[in-house]
Amino acid sequence: MSVTSKYRDSWEGFWREAPDETGAVLWDADPALTVAPHLTRFAARIDRPELPLVDLGCGNGTQTRYLAAHYPDVIGVDLSHTAVERARSQDTDGTARFEQLDATDTRAVHDLHARLGDANVYVRGVLHQCDPADRQPVADAVATLLGARGRAFVVELAEGAKRVLTDLARHPQGPPPKLRPVFAHGIAPGEVSDTGLVELLSNAGLDVLAEGALPLVTTEHTAEGLRIEVPSRWFVLASADARAPERPNGACLPES
C-alpha cells in the first residue's frame, strides 16, 4: 500500500512553493522550542541511545539537525522529494542523513529497517494530517523501525487543536499567512481524535511507556502579536513484544 498521488502531490506542491528559509513554514519553529522539550521526556527512556535515530516526516530538516547534535547516527526521512532536497541543502555541515520514504510502503519501510537495524524514532505531527487510509500504515511503520530494541517519541495534535486552527482560519482578516498554504494545498491538520490516535498506536503493536500533553509551538503569531501554540499529546512507545521497564499496575504514568 502507498499514499495516494494526490496526497504526495499536495506535499510536493507545498514544499516547492514554501520559502527556502528556516522558520518560513508554520511548524518550522526553533528546535529550542520544539524538539528540545521533547528530548527531555524522551532521552531518559531510550534504552539504546547508540541505535540509529529516524526522524519520520523530517520536512526541511530543522529538527533533524538538532537531533543529530545529540545522537550519533540520525536519518531524516520524508514523503516529499523536495523537502528532502531542502533538508540536504540546509545541512551544510552534513550532521544528518536524509532520504525520501513513503512510510505507507511496507516494503520500503522493511528495507530501511534491514539497512539500519532496530532504531529509535521521532515523529512530530505526521499522523494527524495523513489521509485516513494512510494513518494505520504510518503507525505500523513506526513499529517496524523500532523492532525489539528501539523506542519512539510520537507527538501529535490533540483533538482540541482542530478548533484552534479552525478559529484562526475563520478570522475576519483571514488565516495567518503561514497557515494559508496548509489549507491551500489540501493539507488537513488535526483530523485524528484523541481516542483514534491511541487506537492507531495500539493496533500497530506499540506499548505506551509514558504520555503527556504539551503545547505545539508554531512560527506564526496572532494579529495581536502572540505566538500561536496548539495543544498536542506526546507518547513514548516501544514494541508491545519488547520487554518494557516495570510500571505500577502495568500502566504508564501520565506526565505534563
Residue 4: per-residue pLDDT? 65
Residue 3: per-residue pLDDT? 58
Nearest Cα to Cα of residue 157 among 215, 208, 103, 102: 215
pLDDT digit of tens for each residue in the chain (256 aa)? 455 677 788 999 999 999 988 889 999 999 999 999 999 999 999 999 999 999 999 999 999 999 999 999 999 999 999 999 999 999 999 999 999 999 999 999 999 999 999 999 999 999 988 888 899 999 999 999 999 999 999 999 998 888 888 787 787 777 788 888 888 888 877 778 999 999 999 999 999 999 999 999 999 988 788 898 999 999 999 999 875 444 444 445 556 5
153: part of which helix (H) or strand (E)?
A: strand 152-157
How many CA atoms, within 13 angstroms, populate the side-chain half-sphere of residue 110?
5
Residue 63: per-residue pLDDT? 97
Maximum C-alpha span of the chain:
53
Residue 143: per-residue pLDDT? 98
**Cβ atoms of 207 and 133 closer than 8 Å:** no
Residue 255: per-residue pLDDT? 63
Instruction: Determine if the pTM surpasses 0.75.
Output: yes
Residue 219: per-residue pLDDT? 93
Amino acid at 235: F
**Cβ atoms of 91 and 62 closer than 8 Å:** no
